[in-house]
Amino acid sequence: MRYIGTAASRVDGYAKVTGAAKYAAEVRPDDLTHGSVVTSTIARGRITRLDVSEALRVDGVIKVLTHLNRPEMPDDDSAYKDDVAPDGSPFRPLYDDRILFDGQPIALVIAEEPEIAQFAASLVRVDYDQEPHVTDVRRRREEPSALKPSAKTGADPFAPPKPRGAAEKALAAAEVRHQGEYYVPIEHHNPMELYASTVIFEGDGKLTVYDKTQGVQNVQRYLCGVLKMDPDDVRVMSPFMGGGFGSGLRPQYQVVLAGLAALALKRSVRVVLTRQQMYGLGHRPAMIQRIELGAKADGTLETVTHDAVTVTSQYEHFYRQETGWSGLLYRCANATYAHKLAPLDLATSCDMRAPSAATGVYALECAMDELAVALGLDPLDLRLRCYSDRDQHADRPYSSKNLRDCYRQGAEAFGWDKRNREPRSMRDGSELVGWGMATGVWEAMQVPIGVRIVLTANGHAEVSCATSDIGTGTYTIMAQVAADMLGLSLDDITIKLGDSTLPQSPVEGGSWIAASVANGIATTSDAVRHELLGLAKQMQNSPFADVAPDEVTLADGKLVSKRDPTSAVLIADAMRHSGVDRIEREKTTRFTKDESRSHNVHSAVFAEVKVDEELGVIRVTRIVSAVAAGRILNPKTAGSQILGGVVWGIGMALHEETLLDHTFGRVMNANIAEYHVPVNADIHDIKVIFVDEPDDSINRLGIKGLGEIGIVGVAAAVANAVYHATGMRVRDLPITLDKLD
């Protein structure tokens, strides 16, 4: 392979740094109008009066849309369901007078200029019939009757795994036990690009929608249901996206508001949410977890119990499989899980990078660290003693698992063998030094996907798929795989994506797109190669007259015999000889689920912190993340993915927390000045190691995907390092200096 596995620079990099790449709020059609959203100031109740008269008197204001005058919308829930919608009744923007959460959109002011719309929106007056609300998960947990089961049946893919053994009995008999409660607060995604939609009203009444989304076809189907339009009349585009992290898996409400306004005005409309309004969208749910571990004195893990209470909204039941990671990672004969939902008067929670694993593994890996202390063992030694080569849930082997090498290479690079086990035993001047570690795990998933390839006689190929590039480098890895599969140079490949009219793709999330689309390109390339072979066989004195399709490959612009590399025909010659100017093939790739093996990615994270003994200020000075994730398509973009995940894990451990005023049910730090995220001064040395992990059974290219794994385990490694430095165990995130008092 010439390109797969190489650190190619982003093929879309030039467009991004020069501004040629246009995002959803940068497309400027003729006759464009601008919408500004008015949001609710209560968490629960009804609108009793909505006065828009002052707003309408402002010069340049065209219309104010509310639930009283919007275009017709469907009554049934099914019209509002998207591809990843949870159980329940989806939120319907501007549908009626009900208020379900603070910051809910209740009106859209449309004007000729954005500043006019924003000013006029401030003049809209609203009265409410306010009802009691609850936004505190701890308060809700004290009301057992208000909690909901997370899954209806064991067949639910997000249901906790089936228990095994006799966990309660094993815990009672364990020689060493640990019990702890761990808390993760609500976190908001805060991507750099604000959520925005530009809806172009075409002359024939059709809509072309530029939307910030992780799934254009998902949005297209959703809009057709909500706006009562035919699929052929709605095209959704998202060629570039400035970060999503899961917040763009579901259509956000601004795209509906812009669509309603475009239909009402028969003009193009742009709606851009403010940073504050983005806190009225989904979030990583707050979570209270209780873990009990029982072990023999030699470190053999005997039992795991993991219970969780997770935040959701009152109208939808969003959840992920939070507790089952605990029973998956380590060899343990007895395990049991429980997961309940705490419905609150907030917007529905949603996926956020490594949903369920980032939070569930945090609790598990902190608990394992505490168990190691109780046993008098090194934390890495304990994990190696409990290592499992088999999926503990399904009792089957992995297609590949190189976690042992992650531990070994990560520990060597970090210098773990120099760690003094005693807390508060390592210092650097006035700072306490702590070393902590944790394990990471994620699923290696694949999804059906369509790819179209158009190869022209001049040696150029256009590869298209409706998938998104959310900043991860999808353009680049698609180009690398296509270049190798078609035997062309990287410069001869054009990638088209982020367009609902292109071949079918699911939303981009879960770390499944790289593996899926890369193998999809390979499948369609096979079809192109077969056709080229047919053309080459028609040539006079063809060296391929009796050659089977699997006996030839494409390389350096030629069709080449695998048996005799000197037997080759230029692609251009084969096409021109047959009078063919272009070959177009489209294939859908589906992956057969291997029930005999489990597919996961793993990591080992080692962290160093330094804590000012007087002030309690914590600095993460070093991180080593060793990752085993099958074949790495591009070490440069892949390394950036892990770096970003590590930074977010540091934020999860020390910075990020959405603060609610429960009296009003309102986010108090709805901005990126008071919602703390790591900045340059917070990030020091991060080393990423990719551990070799051949896997020829998961798919033909051996790809697993690694967008999520970078964050998993980082918060636990940092928290464990803080304990080692200070001797103080903080079990609720983020770990701020006041908690070290």
The model's pLDDT over 196-227, given as tens digits with 9 standing for 90+, comes to: 999 999 999 999 999 999 999 999 999 999 99
pTM: predicted TM-score of the whole model, two decimal places: 0.97
Q: What gap in Å lies between CA 359 and CA 733, rounded to an integer?
A: 10
pLDDT, residue 159, reads: 86
The model's pLDDT over 606-655, given as tens digits with 9 standing for 90+, comes to: 999 999 999 999 999 999 999 999 999 999 999 999 999 999 999 999 99
Task: List the catalytic residue out of 187, 322, 608, 708.
Answer: 708
Strand partners, 603: 440, 627
Q: Is 202 a catalytic residue?
A: no
Residue 532 near residue 575 (C-beta atoms within 8 A): yes
What contacts 274, CB < 8 A, 6 or more positions away? Answer: 37, 194
Per CATH, the number for 447-589 is 3.30.365.10
Identify the segments of the chain with pLDDT beneath 70: 153-154
pLDDT, residue 360, reads: 98
Count each helix (H run) and each strand (E run) in the chain, helices first.
Answer: 16, 33
Contacts 24+ apart (CB under 8 A), 228-234: 228/72, 228/73, 228/74, 228/79, 232/206, 233/205, 233/206, 233/207, 234/206, 234/207, 234/209, 234/500
Instruction: Output the DSSP codes for 102-159.
Output: TT-EEEEEEESSHHHHHHHHTT-EEEEEE------HHHHHT-GGG-EES-SSTTSTTS
DSSP state of 181: E
pLDDT, residue 157, reads: 82
Q: For the chain, what percentages of helix, strand and coil (3-state, to nearest 5) are there?
A: 30, 30, 45
Residue 61 near residue 54 (C-beta atoms within 8 A): no
Instruction: Output the DSSP codes for 549-580.
Output: GGGEEEETTEEEESS-TT-EEEHHHHHHHTT-
Q: What gap in Å lies between CA 161 and CA 322, rounded to an integer?
A: 10
Q: Which residue is listed with tokens 């004290």?
A: 142
Closest CA to 414 of 618, 620, 704: 620
pLDDT, residue 518, reads: 98
Topology given in CATH for the domain delimited by 17-132+191-274: Aldehyde Oxidoreductase; domain 3 (3.90.1170)
**SS3 state at 633:** coil
Q: Which residue is listed with tokens 């939902």?
A: 341
17-132+191-274 and 352-444+598-740 agree in CATH topology: no
**SS3 state at 409:** helix
Closest CA to 510 of 443, 595, 451, 449: 443
Instruction: At 123, list the tokens.
Output: 């003049």
pLDDT, residue 154, reads: 66
CA distances from 435 to 358, 368, 410, 438, 621 (A): 20, 15, 13, 11, 10
pLDDT, residue 48, reads: 98
CATH 3.30.365.10 applies to domain 352-444+598-740 = yes
Residue 325 near residue 364 (C-beta atoms within 8 A): yes
Instruction: At 38, list the tokens.
Output: 């008015």
Residue ranges of the domains in the chain?
Answer: 17-132+191-274, 352-444+598-740, 447-589
Q: What gap in Å lies between CA 558 and CA 455, rounded to an integer?
A: 13
pLDDT, residue 148, reads: 93
Amino acid at 552: V
Q: What gap in Å lies between CA 263 and CA 108, rounded to an integer?
A: 13
